[in-house]
Amino acid sequence: MYKLTIHGGKALSGTIKTAGSKNSSLPILFASILADTPITLTNTPHLSDVSTTLRLLMNMGAEFILESDNALFVDSSKLTNLVADYHLVKTMRASILVLGPILAKYGRAKVSLPGGCAIGTRPVDLHLKSLEELGATIEVKNGYIYAQAKTLIGAEIYFDQVTVTATENLLMAATLAKGTTTIHNAAQEPEICDLCNCLNKMGAKIFGIGTSILVIEGVESLNGVSYSVCPDRIEAATYLVAAAITSGSITVKNIRYQSMRAVLGKLIEIGADIKTRNNSITLDMKGRRPKAVNIKTSTYPNFPTDMQAQFTALNAIAEGHSSITENIFENRFMHIPELARMGADLTLEGNTVFCRGVESLTGAHLMATDLRASASLVLAGLAANGTTTIERVYHLDRGYETIEEKLKLLGAQIERVQD
């Protein structure tokens, strides 16, 4: 197992490039099942979640070729095994995205239930209910979802709760359904727009992209295309916070700042000087200590839950008192006790973390727990005095491409070492 060691206290400076989005790549790879010919995906990130998706698709009969550094040729057009096995699904909850596409294309699917995870119970009831509303028969037994539908029929679907992957699962299934499906209260995340744009390029008819009402006119078939995945806004924002927490100055390239407004607003509030250009953002703290900010996580376009842990680390060393309320996942606070071990003054009450900013943190031996919590520990380590060691780095590798290499480019003293 690998761990990271960080010698903190150095202001970051320099320029890095954001990778393609994890949360776009995964649904689009699953959407390849819907196509009758192969797809080529460019700007794909090197992440273990992408490898897990490819392993799952290969296990079902797909083939892929890594054509160049970040271009993937994927042929999922003729699957031979319609079972998504527990051993593959359990490592990545987004594997549930296989359900809609196989059901729509082959009329049946057997997919392992993903189970709970560190940040909460994360049920899949809305995925199943909405597919049933398209006419699927679904049974859950022995930890597996058994789904069948001779023909999926378009319907009016209303989600009680805004959910990203259930919106994606349903809209993928609806592309090959008979008639029109309308999804009310759909999630509006940029990664959903990316999936819709890719599906439309493949021949789907999706309208209302980027709004809470998606209208999908079912088509007979879809074709493989070449598609470039959008940049990863969460990765980009994490590096901007890394610069802010170290009172540094960096430029992040290959971004779409328009999808990052809520986070950029908070970075301006902490005292950062932000300059956006066509496809880059420069953050400059001008050597200043950040000011504490209050945050409430919510659905897009509001402040993303995937940046909550990173801003908690930032508030830990910021000037002043703050509160951060987590409204999406009930247990997304695994980073709190670890940050407290570094000297952070944090109190958790219900779903709100109250923070009194301290002048500095001290390096400590820490345990990574989930993807974004782990990122917050790296950020805290960059700001802390002394050495921080973070174990279980595999959590970070799910969503950050070579994190230590990018941070080194910005002048951080960070190493990946084997136990």
CA 288 to chain centre: 30
Helix (H, G, I), strand (E, B) or coil at 257: helix
Closer to ligand UD1 by Cβ: residue 117 or 358: 117
DSSP β-bridge partners for residue 213: 184
| Pairwise CA distance, residues 73 & 29, whole Å | 10
Closer to ligand UD1 by Cβ: residue 23 or 322: 23
- Judge contact between 33 and 416, C-beta under 8 A: no
Q: C-beta of 303: minimal distance to ligand UD1 in Å?
A: 11
DSSP β-bridge partners for residue 13: 249
193 is catalytic: no
Of 44, 81, 411, 82, nearest to 227 (Cα)?
44
| Pairwise CA distance, residues 183 & 385, whole Å | 50
Q: Which member of 44, 305, 374, 376 binds ligand UD1 (CB under 6 A)?
A: 305
Closer to ligand UD1 by Cβ: residue 72 or 364: 72
Q: Which of residues 17-46 bind ligand UD1 (CB under 6 A)?
A: 23, 26
Closer to ligand UD1 by Cβ: residue 82 or 328: 328
Answer yes or no whether residue 51 interacts with ligand UD1 by CB under 6 A: no
Answer yes or no whether residue 95 interacts with ligand UD1 by CB under 6 A: no
Helix (H, G, I), strand (E, B) or coil at 60: coil
Q: C-beta of 98: minimal distance to ligand UD1 in Å?
A: 12
DSSP β-bridge partners for residue 347: 354
Residue type, 382: L
Q: How many residues bind ligand UD1 (CB under 6 A)?
A: 23
Q: Which of residues 105-164 bind ligand UD1 (CB under 6 A)?
A: 120, 122-127, 161, 163-164
409-418 burial string, b = 16+ CB within 10 Å, else e? ebebebebee
Answer yes or no whether residue 273 interacts with ligand UD1 by CB under 6 A: no
Q: C-beta of 345: minimal distance to ligand UD1 in Å?
A: 26
Closer to ligand UD1 by Cβ: residue 165 or 376: 165
Q: Which runs of consecutive H residues, i.e. helices, occur in 317-413?
A: 335-341, 371-383, 394-397, 403-409
Q: Which two tokens stand for residue 321?
A: 């008192």
Helices 308-316 and 233-245: angle between axes, nearest 10 degrees: 0
Q: Which two tokens stand for residue 203?
A: 């021949």
Give the strand pairing for 205-207 and 352-356: unpaired
Answer yes or no whether residue 306 interacts with ligand UD1 by CB under 6 A: yes
Closer to ligand UD1 by Cβ: residue 138 or 340: 138
Helix (H, G, I), strand (E, B) or coil at 243: helix
Q: Which two tokens stand for residue 9?
A: 């206290």
Instruction: Give the x/- contact pattern for ligand UD1 in 324-363, rule: CB under 6 A.
Output: ----xx----------------------------------
Q: Which member of 82, 94, 313, 414 binds ligand UD1 (CB under 6 A)?
A: 94
Q: Which region, judged by CB under 6 A, interacts with ligand UD1, from 173-181, 259-267, 300-308, 312-320?
A: 300-308
Q: Of residues 117, 193, 196, 230, which has the active-site annotation? A: 117
| Pairwise CA distance, residues 135 & 107, whole Å | 11
Closer to ligand UD1 by Cβ: residue 46 or 289: 46
Q: C-beta of 66: minimal distance to ligand UD1 in Å?
A: 22
Q: Which two tokens stand for residue 185?
A: 């209260």
Q: Which of residues 183-202 bind ligand UD1 (CB under 6 A)?
A: 187, 191
Phi then psi for residue 90, to 5 deg, are: -65, -25
Q: C-beta of 320: minimal distance to ligand UD1 in Å?
A: 27
| Pairwise CA distance, residues 266 & 245, whole Å | 13
Q: C-beta of 412: minimal distance to ligand UD1 in Å?
A: 25
Residue numbers at the binding site for ligand UD1 (CB under 6 A): 23, 26, 93-94, 120, 122-127, 161, 163-166, 187, 191, 304-306, 328-329
Catalytically active residues, by annotation: 117
